[in-house]
């Protein structure tokens, strides 16, 4: 019984981080119908930012995360204005954005490999190697901090979407882009802000990843596959679904890792992706679409 509780707790802690990582991706799809293949590459870029802030300046990753949020938000706004407005009216907008972000992921990976090399990196604040002990149970301090910060950021994102005027516009655009534009929502402004928020979330996620997981430039291909599994399970464009999907799959991954081995753990996400596409393609909280 103790082993089951221990595995569940460890899976839950990582599930909070996965949920934060996936939230930015699902917002972009919900507002703009953009499957941002480069999202995980920007998470790795943010992890390098926090890593070098720690290595060179001694700035704790949780502090550098506060710097990464506005920096990556501005980066996202600029990137959106440069790349997306010119193709907004295209009948193949979704396909073009997939190809564009796919190329952007390669460019980002190439730049990171050139400047940072391909070796494994990981920030090493003292709490990353520590743990809380509760009798026969233990809780890694770094994972607990990362889970707590992820939960706070997700609650802040939910409150922003629910209670602010801009959040109303974002939710309206997610429900029906054309109808939102008809009733006066500045869809381009909302899309720009949403892209900035998605990038800011990637920046925060990267700061947490920097001391939880070892990373290197091409690691993002594994992450984007996992994140797509999470948002497909929860329902594309559903923030609630992304959070629930992340928690469910991370706990399942923890049990698979314990019973079969860590090598097989990533297959949990891909197996779930296969099953959900076979049984319920719209996901747990997604909406069915008519042809």
pLDDT at 190 over 60: yes
Per residue in 191-216, pLDDT tens? 889 899 999 999 999 999 999 999 99
Whether 18 and 229 have beta carbons less than 8 Å apart is answered as: no
pLDDT at 235 over 80: no
Render pLDDT for 220-234 as a digit per residue (tens, 0 to 9): 998 888 888 888 888
| Three-state SS letters, 200-217 | HHHHHHHHHHHHHCCECH
pTM: 0.91
Q: Is 251 inside a domain boundary?
A: no
Tell me the residue range of the domain where 94 lies.
Answer: 17-219
281 within a domain of the structure (yes/no): no
pLDDT for 288 equals 56
pLDDT exceeds 50 at position 130? yes
Q: Kindly state whether residue 97 falls inside one of the protein's structural domains.
A: yes
Alpha carbon distance, N-terminus to C-terminus of the chain: 49
pLDDT for the residue numbered 287 = 60
In a domain, 157, yes or no: yes
Q: Which residue has the higher pLDDT, 141 or 182?
A: 141
- Residue 290 pLDDT > 50: no
Q: Are 207 and 21 in contact (CB under 8 A)?
A: no
Asked if residue 215 belongs to a domain, the reply is yes
Average pLDDT over residues 266-279: 82
Residue 161: predicted pLDDT: 86
pLDDT at residue 286, as a whole number: 63
What mean pLDDT comes out for the span 273-288? 75
Among the listed ranges 4-18, 27-41, 46-60, 116-130, which one has the minimum average pLDDT value? 27-41
d(CA 80, CA 173): 17
* 102-106, 161-165, 244-248, 263-267: least confidently modelled range: 263-267
Q: For 238-244, what is the mean pLDDT?
A: 83
Average pLDDT, the chain: 87
pLDDT tens per residue, range 87-107: 776 778 778 888 899 999 999
Split into its structural domains, the chain has a count of 1
Q: Is 165 within a domain? A: yes
Is residue 289, in this structure, part of any structural domain at all? no
User: Does 289 have pLDDT greater than 60?
Assistant: no
Q: Are residues 27 and 21 in contact, defined by beta-carbon separation less than 8 angstroms?
A: no
The whole-number pLDDT of residue 55 equals 93
* Domain contains 166: yes
Q: Tell me, what's the pLDDT at 278?
A: 84
């Amino acid at each position: 019984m103790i082993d089951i509780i221990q595995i569940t707790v460890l899976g839950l802690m990582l599930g909070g981080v996965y949920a934060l990582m996936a939230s930015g991706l699902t917002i972009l799809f919900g507002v703009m119908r953009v499957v941002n293949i480069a999202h995980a590459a920007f998470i790795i870029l943010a992890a390098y930012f926090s890593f070098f802030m720690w290595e060179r300046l001694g700035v704790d990753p949780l502090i550098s995360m506060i710097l990464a949020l506005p920096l990556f938000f501005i980066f996202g706004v600029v990137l959106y204005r440069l790349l997306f407005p010119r193709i907004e009216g295209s009948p193949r907008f979704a396909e073009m954005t997939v190809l564009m972000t796919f190329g952007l992921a390669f460019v980002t990976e190439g730049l990171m490999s050139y400047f940072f090399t391909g070796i494994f990196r990981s920030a090493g604040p003292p709490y990353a190697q520590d743990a809380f002990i509760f009798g026969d149970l233990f809780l890694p301090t770094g994972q607990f901090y990362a889970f707590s910060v992820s939960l706070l950021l997700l609650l802040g994102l939910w409150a922003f979407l629910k209670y602010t005027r801009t959040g109303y516009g974002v939710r309206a655009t997610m429900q029906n882009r054309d109808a939102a534009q008809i009733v006066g929502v500045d869809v381009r402004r909302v899309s720009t802000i949403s892209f900035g928020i998605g990038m800011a979330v990637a920046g925060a996620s990267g700061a947490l990843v920097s001391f939880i997981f070892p990373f290197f430039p091409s690691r993002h291909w594994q992450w984007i596959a996992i994140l797509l599994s999470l948002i497909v399970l929860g329902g594309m464009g559903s923030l609630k679904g992304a959070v629930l999907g992340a928690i469910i799959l991370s706990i399942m991954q923890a049990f698979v890792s314990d019973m079969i081995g860590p090598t097989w753990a990533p297959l949990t996400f891909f197996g779930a992706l296969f099953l959900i596409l076979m049984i319920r393609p719209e996901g747990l909280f997604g909406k069915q679409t008519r042809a």
